[in-house]
Amino acid sequence: MTVARAMVECLKAEGVKHVFGYPGAAICPFYDELISSGIEHILVRHEVNSGHAASGYARMTGKAGVCVATSGPGALNLITSIATAYMDSIPIVAITGQVNSDQIGRDVFQEADITGSAEPFVKHSYIVKDPASICDVIKKAFYIAETGRPGPVLIDVPMDVQNMECEFCYPDKVEIRSYKPTTEGNKLQLKRVADAILKADKPVICAGGGVFLSGAEEELRELVHKCNIPVINTMMGLSNIDMSDPLYFGMMGMHGVRSANYAVANCDLLILLGARMGDRAVTALEGLRDTPIIHIDIDPAEIGKNVDVTTPVVGDIKKILTQLISVVQEEKHTEWLNELNAVKNAPADVPGSKPGTLDPRLFIRELNKYLEKDAVIVSDVGSNQIWTVNNIMLTKGRFLTAGGMGTMGYSLPAALGAKKACPDRQVIALCGDGSMQMQFMELATAVQHGIDIKIIVFVNNCLGMVREYQERLYSRAIAVDLDGSPSYEAIAGAYGIKAETVTENSQAEQAIRNMVESDKPYLIQVIVDKEEDSII
């Protein structure tokens, strides 16, 4: 069979049901085979969004999401989403067409060195020159993307190679001598962790995105309840523990809540669990002097990179937690929990809003009442993200955002991917008007493919977080007004999507009810005051 056919057969063998992509000449042989394969292709409206959709899909399935683009500009447009997935350790396999192999390096039409350009942002990449290697390459790509610390893998296939003949033989297993991630925690180190937990009066666990990647949510819950250890999250870790759990104290870091940062500042043992301690989270650790820190992560390079640790443990979080649960003793930590609860329950100001605008925090709290138990919330980047993370209440639900790269325009395509992965769950994208204008072409994708996602756009006619930042640091705001922007209700209407606008807190409930009751895509634009800050 042809390599193009073999590529499709490999995807089938890998169990791929959906791919997100955008065709072009150099990837046409693959597309021609895809059409009759039974794999559903979702046509995005910009290549970057095929990567974000694959990311949303991957995060909900735990398997690599697949995105496809053509050579040159198509492939280059993918890079931002590949980099976004890389920062957040999301497994995706990106397939790109390339110009004919005998033309590579001659600057022909739509030629770009995509493996070279994407190199800093991929876990690994392949350019397929030998048709006989295709099955092996695809098997390895999925294996590398999904194992160890997950991440994006790129496969670039020249058009002439796609048309060459090869034998289809999909390998059962992979053996890469230079790639053997450590998954079992070192026994001696685990003993040290268990001893430290036993010794500590004020322990706290900071659970990051690694808990999802390892599928260790249940083990986390079990461990913290056995020892009554308070849990806080990084942004990437949000919803890996039930937010209504009495042991949960919110998100830490620069944009986090007081109770979480208080817990870090006053604990006598900090356990970092699958959290790479990015600079936005690490602010919470400033001022810690002698507090022992345990860092558990599958990637040894993350341990000691941003935070000096007392006890490093390398391995798969699920395995490590399972081992820990069996050796730790039950504890109460009543005093410590009382101390934290006092901070958590301290009355907070709920700022009112000006006439004609809503308080976005109150809107999100209203939304909480209508969330299905296992709802998927996808947040964009900016003020909307901070409002969302500090007010959303997910019990069995899932929170998604582009935490590491902070890529605007992530929410809508990622929500499309998430909904394709779990069509029975409620999927809601929340974004600002800045991010909306980077992604609203994808409304067409939702309509064309009948993907029932809900969209909430906070409209303050301004790049709110940049404004806030500029005003604090430069005492004035520059280039943040979004004058000239459209009505998002009208935009949605133009795509045939039902939409409405809310301008007062009192209208929120009805609008949310209309939205959740609809079985089609639905958009609410929420008018927010321009001066609304992202601080709680």
Residue 179 or 370 having the CB closest to other proteins: 179
Q: Least distance (Å) from other proteins to the CB of residue 299?
A: 7
Residue 136 or 268 having the CB closest to other proteins: 136
Residue 145 or 511 having the CB closest to other proteins: 145
Q: Give the whole-angstrom CA distance, residue 360 versus residue 200.
A: 39
Q: Least distance (Å) from other proteins to the CB of residue 229?
A: 29
Q: Least distance (Å) from other proteins to the CB of residue 95?
A: 18
Helix, strand, coil percent content, the chain, rounded in steps of 5: 45, 20, 40
- Cβ atoms of 34 and 60 within 8 Å: the answer is no
Q: Least distance (Å) from other proteins to the CB of residue 182?
A: 11
Helix axes 258-266, 334-344, angle to 10 degrees: 150
Q: Give the whole-angstrom CA distance, residue 378 versus residue 401.
A: 6
User: 165: how many CB neighbours lie within 10 A of its CB?
Assistant: 11
Q: Least distance (Å) from other proteins to the CB of residue 306?
A: 11
DSSP assigned state of 330: P
Q: Least distance (Å) from other proteins to the CB of residue 11?
A: 21
3 state SS of 300:
helix
Residue 215 or 304 having the CB closest to other proteins: 304
Q: Least distance (Å) from other proteins to the CB of residue 410?
A: 23
> In the structure encoding, which two tokens stand for residue 445, read together?
């994708």
The residue to which tokens 């209203």 are assigned: 366
Q: Least distance (Å) from other proteins to the CB of residue 367?
A: 40
In single-letter form, the type of residue at position 505 comes to N
3 state SS of 450:
coil
Residue 81 or 115 having the CB closest to other proteins: 115
Return the closest-CA partner of residue 270 out of 280, 279, 256, 260.
260
Strands 376-379 and 311-314: unpaired
Q: Least distance (Å) from other proteins to the CB of residue 308?
A: 9
The residue to which tokens 């280059």 are assigned: 76
* CB environment 474-504: b (16+ within 10 A), e (fewer): eeebeebebeeeeebbebbeebebebbbbbe
Residue 92 or 260 having the CB closest to other proteins: 92
Q: What is the rounded (10 degree) CA torsion for 87, 215, 249, 387?
A: 50
Residue 118 or 223 having the CB closest to other proteins: 118
Q: Least distance (Å) from other proteins to the CB of residue 167?
A: 22
Q: What is the rounded (10 degree) CA torsion for 217, 222, 223, 225?
A: 120
Alpha-carbon dihedral sign for residues 118, 119, 122, 126 = positive
Footprint of other proteins (CB under 8 A):
115-116, 119-120, 123-124, 127, 144, 176-179, 299-301, 304-305
Residue 50 or 125 having the CB closest to other proteins: 125
Helix axes 360-368, 505-517, angle to 10 degrees: 40
Sort residue 518 into left (φ over 0), alpha (ψ -120 to 50) or beta. Answer: beta
Q: Which residues partner with 18 through β-bridges?
A: 40
Residue 129 or 280 having the CB closest to other proteins: 129
Residue 180 or 199 having the CB closest to other proteins: 180
The residue to which tokens 């010794």 are assigned: 199
Residue 124 or 319 having the CB closest to other proteins: 124
- Cβ atoms of 49 and 81 within 8 Å: the answer is yes
- Cβ atoms of 525 and 501 within 8 Å: the answer is yes
Residue 120 or 423 having the CB closest to other proteins: 120
Strands 231-233 and 248-251: parallel
Q: Least distance (Å) from other proteins to the CB of residue 300?
A: 5
In single-letter form, the type of residue at position 468 comes to E
Q: Least distance (Å) from other proteins to the CB of residue 282?
A: 15
- Cβ atoms of 69 and 96 within 8 Å: the answer is yes
